[in-house]
Amino acid sequence: MSRVFVLGNISIDVTLRVPRLPLPGETLMARGIARAPGGKGLNQAVAAARAGAEVFFAAAVGREAEMGFVHAALAAEPLAGLRLVYPGPATDLSTLIVAEDGENSIISTGDCCDAFPLAEAEAFLADMGEGDILLVQGNLTAAVTAAAVRRAGRAIVNTAPIRWDMAEVVRGAWITVANRVEAAAITGGDEPARAAGRLGAGIGIVTAGAEGCFVAEGGRVRHFPAAGVRAVDTTGAGDVFCGVLAARMAGGAGIDAAVAGAQSAAAIAVGRAGCFDAIPSVAEMREGKGLLFL
């Protein structure tokens, strides 16, 4: 089995639940507030580790006391290695606004991510072997992310969030995963199936919610329908998909089986509230909760 190196971010997630997403200039009253460990990097690393991969995770954080519950949560996860960098800024914060129909909007800070030193990323990746997999997102700077992708032989790039021009990173990716909005932004407005074929030189995957996902490989685009589940909260679906995809590929699965497993895990996640709390457990990953894990 190959190892998975996740270079990403950690944030403190604050979730507000509302009847619907607010209109511009509108104030809505939320129904409660919840705090949890978060960040796309953390979520994807945890999902990959729970799916059975040997995962090494690096991220930048602050030293504030509030991070105690995040440290405790990470200590309980089956990570093979954790590298925390303290560049100075406070830990990044994400505010998640979740509507009753499961749709969401997210606002995140990036000061701590922006301060992640290139030297720390290079040191983290120094132990990567030829067959190991790198999983990155758009949270860190373009310079750090591009250098990491160049270093890795097999890099999975999740284009969320788009903070800078993704062209160089996507060109060097083994697999690129984007949702339909990100894919349209990168490819100039193409619909998901066509956009998948234009996401770099490697395998392109466009996730499209209830429509499933589109996978482009070798000039051919295939559609993978979504599992029929009622969405409670979609905020963590992409992270679970990416983490499990990386874990399945690291375990030797082909792209079809890896995508099917990732979709099954994401289907579990969207049926629950929250991001971190929605990630399927080790037992659920192993059993598939009655869904299809090839």
pLDDT(234) > 90: no
Does some domain include residue 258? yes
> What's the average model confidence in pLDDT over 39-56?
97
As to burial, measured by CB atoms within 10 angstroms (0-12 exposed, 13-18 middle, 19+ buried), residue 168 is middle
Q: Distance (Å, rounded) from C-alpha 251 to C-alpha 54? A: 10
Residue type, 99: A
Number of domains the chain contains: 1
State percent of the chain over pLDDT 70. Answer: 98
Which tokens in the block code for residue 239? 């992270």
* Residue 220 CB contacts under 8 Å (≥ 6 apart), including other chains: none
pLDDT(130) > 80: yes
Instruction: Determine the structural domain holding residue 147 and report its residue range.
Output: 3-10+39-90+113-290
Does some domain include residue 141? yes
What CATH number is attached to the domain comprising 62?
A: 3.40.1190.20
Give the predicted TM-score (pTM) of the model. Answer: 0.92
Confidence label for 151 from pLDDT (cuts 50, 70 and 90) = very high
Confidence label for 293 from pLDDT (cuts 50, 70 and 90) = very low
Look at residue 29 in the predicted model and tell me its pLDDT.
Answer: 94
Q: Distance (Å, rounded) from C-alpha 231 to C-alpha 233? A: 6
* Closest to 5 in 3D by CA, of 151, 179, 125: 125
Look at residue 273 in the predicted model and tell me its pLDDT.
Answer: 81
Does some domain include residue 232? yes
Helix (H) or strand (E) holding 3: strand 3-7
| Dihedral in degrees, nearest 10, Cα atoms 239, 241, 242, 247 | 120
Look at residue 291 in the predicted model and tell me its pLDDT.
Answer: 41
Look at residue 275 in the predicted model and tell me its pLDDT.
Answer: 86
Residue with tokens 């049926």: 271
Look at residue 43 in the predicted model and tell me its pLDDT.
Answer: 97
Look at residue 189 in the predicted model and tell me its pLDDT.
Answer: 78
What pairing do the DSSP bridges indicate for beta strands 11-18 and 33-38?
antiparallel
DSSP state of 211: G
Confidence label for 288 from pLDDT (cuts 50, 70 and 90) = low
Does some domain include residue 249? yes
Confidence label for 290 from pLDDT (cuts 50, 70 and 90) = very low
For the chain, how far is it from start to end, CA to CA, in angstroms?
16
pLDDT tens digits, 244-286:
999 999 999 999 999 999 999 999 999 998 889 999 999 999 8
Q: What is the mean pLDDT of the chain?
A: 93
Does some domain include residue 181? yes
Q: Distance (Å, rounded) from C-alpha 245 to C-alpha 26? A: 38
Residue pair 80/6 in contact (Cβ under 8 Å)? The answer is no
Does some domain include residue 95? no
State percent of the chain over pLDDT 90. Answer: 83
pLDDT tens digits, 199-229:
988 999 999 988 999 999 999 999 999 877 7
Does some domain include residue 31? no
* Residue 265 CB contacts under 8 Å (≥ 6 apart), including other chains: 47, 51, 240, 241, 244, 280, 285, 293
Q: Give the Å distances, CA to CA, from 263 to 39, 51, 162, 206, 229.
A: 20, 13, 22, 12, 11
Does some domain include residue 106? no
